[in-house]
Structures are given as C-alpha cells and as structure tokens.
Structure 1
C-alpha cells in the first residue's frame, strides 16, 4: 500500500463531483509519434475540454466542497490554467473567484480567465509573487485560498487520470508526467503505484525550473532564486514539503529536459499527432527525445496536460 496524503476510495468517490466533460478523456496509441521516437507511445489527451487542461478535475472538487460548506468566494494564484479551471468551476456554482497571476503570464491564459468571469489581479514578478499576493487577499477578505498541490482536492482530482490509465485496455511500461507543483504527478503516481505498481512513474521538469526535481533527488526541499523556461505551467521555485513527501513515495524517477527538446516535442506533437500543445504538455516527449535508449521498444504513455498557449509565441517556437 502506497502511503501518501491521498486515498483511492476518495479518488473514486470524487468522480461523482467532477463534471463528466472532464472525465474519460481520449487515450490512444499514436503510431506516427512512436515510430519517430523508437517506442510505442500512447497519448492521454487532457485538452479536449472547456478549459483545455487537466486542472478542472481538481477545481471541480474544490468548488463542490466550498459550495457544500456554504462558502461564496475563493482566491488562487495561477500561472494560467488553474485560474481558468477555478473560474469555470466557480461560475458553475455561483462562487466569486479571484485569480492572481504574474503580469508576464501568457496573454491568452489571462484573457480566458477574465472571459470565464473571474476577477484578475496581476502582479510584477513570477508565480511565487502571485502566490504571496493571493495569501494576502485571502486574509484581507476572509475567503478561501485555493492552493494547487497543497490542497488535497487538486491532487485527488488529478488522480482520476490515473484511474483511467490503470483501467484502460493497454498496459504501460512507463508513464511520463509533467512536474510542476506536483498535483498531477502525486495524484496519478499514487493511483498507478496502488493499482499498477509495475508501471514506472517518471516525472519531467525543465532544466530552467528544476526545484521539485532537485528536491526529489535530494529528499529535501530545494528552492531556486529564479526560473527560466517557456514551460510557464511548471515554473515554480518553492516546493511544498507535504507534496514532496507524496512525490518521493510514488515517483520512480524525476528528470530534467532542455528547452530545445521541449520545442522539438511541441513540433512533433503538431506534425505527428495533430496537436497544438503548450510547452508543459510536451515534457514527456522531450524526455524520450533526450534518452531514446531508455525508452526504446517500451510502451510509454504521456499525459498531454494543457493546450492554452499564446498563438504568436507558439508559432515562433515551432518555426525556430
């Protein structure tokens, strides 16, 4: 039995509180991609939904819980995807949602947050600065602070992806998971290590935002002074101790990949799979590109976790 903050019974029960539009997402083998990478590649597509990322699996649980508690407002810090997801889930339940984001976050994500009815407050600096401001707002207004990865609902919502992977028709040798704050990695990892313990759980992070990966390898929290990556969705600097403990329990490995591999992965997903993805969603493909021998001949699943990308930046990257 895997020992983390998560619980498989709660994860299964969570399915009742998540809008079906976010569940049972496509899972399919992509031969064109696999042939080029030298292994069998299956794609778990978490972008074919109203917020174009996996995040709403968690915010659906958070918003449902807040409604049951009679709460009427919430605030979160977001690099973009969590804010959209909380705005969507909150609007559906009549919650007043405030999202704090870095001013330099992708414009497409910020515009979508506002379009979904949330208040948007921008701060100078990065995600960690947005998190500090969100804490202040929660205290000033006496409202619920939603903290991705620390709040167990965000992890157990993401963990429902693991139920779908473990319950699918195919068996995998490894699952590649983008690693940022850790909600998806710990959630999916917990389920796989409980239901399919032989599957290798590999977390992937950019070289330019390595805090959680360094922390996993050293078995203690390691922070960084800054981040430098196009994968804004995973660019945290301060790992959460409780989340790191969960990650240590469920991950078999954590690897770092370079920006050039992320861009190549995005291009390959467009050309071989017909998918427009944000950089974080290409981390799994980038990991295979940088270590082809490790994955040769194996069946690997990669979770395509988001497609909220600025069109101008996207075209610049894939043409580089």
Structure 2
C-alpha cells in the first residue's frame, strides 16, 4: 500500500509555473507520507530477528510511520519528539499505539534523547537518513520514477535530513543520469543546503520555518557525503513561496499538503526562467498538517507576484 504511488501530469499547474509538471503523490496511504516505505523495511527486519523494541526521534512523520509498521508486527515502539511539534502529528503517533516521549527544545534535542534511550535499553535506534532502510525506502520512489513511461528533465526533492534526497538521487543518477536532481529547503532551515554548497557540515543555532518536517539544524556527515554524490543543486526558498505552493496545490490539484510537500512548487515559483520548457517532477511527500494553521496559510492574502 506504500509502493506504486500515483505519478501524473498536472496540467492545471503549468500555466502559472511555465513548465510541464508531474506530481509523485506520496500521501494516499495510512500514514500520509513516504516514510513508511522505509519503516516497513525496518520493522520487518526487526521482527525476523525476534527484536521486540525500537526507538526513533521524529518531527512527526517518521514516528507515525514507525508506529504503524511496528504495531502490525508486535513491536514496542518509542517515539521521541519536541513538545513543540505539530499537535496533529503527535496525536496520530499516540493513536497508532507508540509510546511518545516529549522533550523541551527542538528536533536535535529529540535525536539526543532517542539515542540515550537506545543505549540505556539496548534497543534498535532508527536514525532517519543515516539508517540504510530509510534511504532504501525512499529509493523505491526513484525506481518508480525512472520506470514510468514519461521521461523527465528535473526532479525537485524536499531536503531535510536527506533520506528522500539521497535515496531518490542515487537511483535517478544511476538510471536516468541526464535528469537533474535538485534539493529544496526553506530559507529558515538552511543547514543541509549550506553544507552541500560548502562541501562540509554547517550547523545552525536555530530553525525558523513552517516546514517542520525539514527543520533540522545539524546535518549528519555521512548523509552529506551521500548527498554530494547525487545532488546537482540545492536551493533555498522563502516562506511566502512555500505558502503559495500549498495554495496552488490546493487550488489547482485538489491536494491538501504540509509545507514540506510544497517545497518543489515553491522552487518553481521562485525561478520560473530556470525551469521554463522542462518537464519537472515534484515529490509531494506528506500531508500531515495542523488544520487551523493550514487554513490560516491557505486563506491568506494574494499570492506573491499576483
């Protein structure tokens, strides 16, 4: 149920964006994000080995996916998250049966706490983007892209910890090397993008973006090394463009998406000339959003440039 997600040309978006646009829709599943492609691998392998417990840190989507995958295999799942994470995501983690531990501070603090729990209890720690299963899961999206009948010139990938970008990027570069892999990150959470441009890990003191799913501050060195092999570019986009992208996906594609899922459209809005005449695929990676915040964003004033 997490594989072979829809990939389709969305012509309604094209007049405003100035290029051919296809959507890879990763939200029509029980956890409403691509993350279960990886957690299904994690949970199945743990169950095969007789392991009974697993812990992860999550901004919300990984935690939901691991809770869902673990519940079906009898695993004891603990998710550590910031108490400031999106409430809807936290509630869904609890509803799926995981033990949820909240920490003060941001996602980096949650990562530290999850690692401490794993050491204390001697259980598996799932580190998104670093653990191979999370990247292998994302790589299946790349396989589905290159196996599709339609050729594409560019794929725009939301960049957070890097699992989606590296997983998809490795497949595209191996099987469709002429296609450009471009990663997109919010200007308010630029650590991985800055690291990619400088070729070394760059951390930030804070992250300030509505795109909570990609709001990391401390890139993992091994993940950056991987990203340097497969990404052709990494760009930063403004918050206003992310909101405009969310509104366009609602108005023209009928899709309710979380901010991270609109990063690709935001990149198209900010640099129409760069993508003019191309066939661009954007991966709509999640739709777990706070309803009240979503209404505020999508009902705001005129779109940039209108």
* TM-score normalised by structure 2 residue count: 0.97
Q: 1:49-198 to 2 correspondence within 5 Å?
A: 49-198=29-178
Q: Deviations over 1:103-145 (max 9, x none)?
A: 1111110000011010001111100011111111111211111
Shift of 1:304: 0.2
- Aligned ranges for residues 131-280 of structure 1 at < 5 Å? 131-280=111-260
CA distance in 1, matches of 2:100, 2:210: 22
Q: Counterparts of 1:158 and 1:192 in 2: how far apart (Å)?
A: 12
Deviations 1:53-93 (A, max 9, x none): 00000001111111122110000000000000000000011
In 2, the alpha carbon distance for the partners of 1:69 and 1:88 equals: 19
| Cα distance in 1 between the residues matched to 2:15 and 2:62 | 34
DSSP 3-state at the match of 2:72: helix
Q: Take 1:141 and 1:312, find their aligned partners in 2: how far apart are those partners?
A: 38
Q: Matches of 1:104 and 1:187 in 2, distance apart?
A: 28
Distance of 1:37 and 1:149 partners within structure 2:
31
Equivalent-residue separation in structure 2 for 1:69 and 1:34 (angstroms): 49
How far, CA to CA, are the matches of 1:135 and 1:195 in structure 2?
35
The separation in 1 between residues aligned to 2:274 and 2:27, in whole angstroms, is 28
CA shift digits 1:261-318 (9 cap, x unpaired): 0000000000000000000000000000000000111100000000000000100111
> SS of 2:40's equivalent?
helix
Q: Distance in 2 between matches of 1:80 and 1:241?
A: 23
Question: C-alpha separation between the residues in 2 aligned to 1:219 and 1:65?
Answer: 34
Report the RMSD for the aligned CA atoms in angstroms. 0.5
Q: How many correspondences in the alignment?
A: 300
TM-score by length of 1: 0.93
3-state SS of the aligned residue for 2:144?
helix
SS of the residue 2:248 aligns to: helix
Q: Which 5+ residue runs of structure 1 have no aligned equivalent?
A: 1-20
Could you tell me which residue of structure 1 aligns to residue 303 of structure 2? none
CA distance in 2, matches of 1:219, 1:282: 26
Moved over 6 A (4+): none
Confirm whether residue 42 of structure 1 aligns to residue 22 of structure 2.
Answer: yes
Match of 1:17 in 2: none
What's 1:308 paired with?
A: 288
Structure 2 residue aligned with 1:9: none
Residue 34 of structure 1 and its aligned partner are, at CA, apart by: 1.3
Q: Aligned equivalents of 1:254 and 1:66: distance in 2?
A: 34
- Provide the rounded CA distance (Å) in 2 between the counterparts of 1:236 and 1:211: 7
